Amino acid sequence: MPSKSQPAPSAAKPSDTISRHLGQRLKQLRAERGWSLEILAANSGVSRSMLSQIEREQANPTLAVTLRIAQAFGMSIGELVEVPGASSSVAVMRKEDKAFHYHSDDHCHIRTLSPLNLEKDVEFYEIRLHTGGALRSAPHFQGTREFLTVSQGIVRVESAGDFELLHAGDSASYRADVAHAIINAGATEAVLYLVDIYR
């Protein structure tokens, strides 16, 4: 661990990561095909010296150079420069990521649990209602429904003039294209999970 007087090592830049990966990738692809640098140079139109510098991570090739190398291997640029792990099939929303803290005030805290690009398709929220707190909503789009599960506390759900009391472990679904509300009806904080589905 560095002392306070020593600067911490800086994180690698994305361009450095791609450059390092590209150099390793060229070596791997050449080995798989049994190509020398001269053969790759002839097939790509990129000089042997430039290819050597790329493999030794001493050069950042231009887009045009990268395209010629990719075409020599019969690949797209994306296939050539793709860094394993840089693009994951698992989307993660970190608890501390402020982008997902949808709303917070003295009575209610709402955190988005679904990817932001799914907004107005399906939305998933964690809601914390302080004692006496309520979440009152105007009608959403026609056909919208909400699905609610209570994790902690007691809440009153209101929709279209009807209401139900829900305790920890209870779930409910109801119309959200009319005025609706979720109210903390207990003496402690209520924690619930809410899904909005739009049609």
* pLDDT tens digits along 113-128: 887 666 667 889 999 9
* pLDDT tens digits along 101-111: 777 888 899 99
pLDDT band at residue 16 under the 50/70/90 scheme? low
Domain limits, the chain: 14-81, 98-197
| Closest-CA residue to 127 (of 110, 114, 147, 106) | 110
**14-81 has CATH 3.20.20.70 classification:** no
pLDDT for the residue 110: 92
pLDDT for the residue 18: 62
CA distance 180 to 151: 20
Average pLDDT of the chain to the nearest whole number: 84
pLDDT for the residue 9: 41
Cβ pair 85, 158 in contact under 8 A: no
* pLDDT tens digits along 35-80: 999 999 999 999 999 999 998 888 888 888 988 998 998 888 877 8
| Percentage of residues of the chain with pLDDT beyond 90 | 49
Bridge partners, 175 (sequence order): 145
CA distance 156 to 41: 72
pLDDT for the residue 102: 78
CA distance 13 to 77: 20
Cβ pair 166, 157 in contact under 8 A: yes
**C-alpha angle 130-132-133 in degrees, rounded to nearest 5:** 55
From residue 74, alpha-carbon distances to 1, 12, 79 in Å are 46, 30, 10
Same fold flag, 14-81 and 98-197: no
pLDDT band at residue 8 under the 50/70/90 scheme? very low
Q: Please, what CATH class does the domain formed by 98-197 belong to?
A: mainly beta
Task: Determine the average pLDDT of the residues in 157-165.
Answer: 96
pTM of the model: 0.55
CA distance 94 to 96: 5
CA distance 56 to 23: 6
| Percentage of residues of the chain with pLDDT beyond 70 | 82
Secondary structure (H, E, C), the chain: CCCCCCCCCCCCCHHHHHHHHHHHHHHHHHHHHCCCHHHHHHHHCCCHHHHHHHHCCCCCCCHHHHHHHHHHCCCCHHHHHCCCCCCCCCCCCCCCCHHHEEEECCCEEEEECCCHHHCCCEEEEEEEECCCCEEEECCCCCCCEEEEEEEECEEEEEECCEEEEEECCCEEEEECCCCEEEEECCCCCEEEEEEEECC
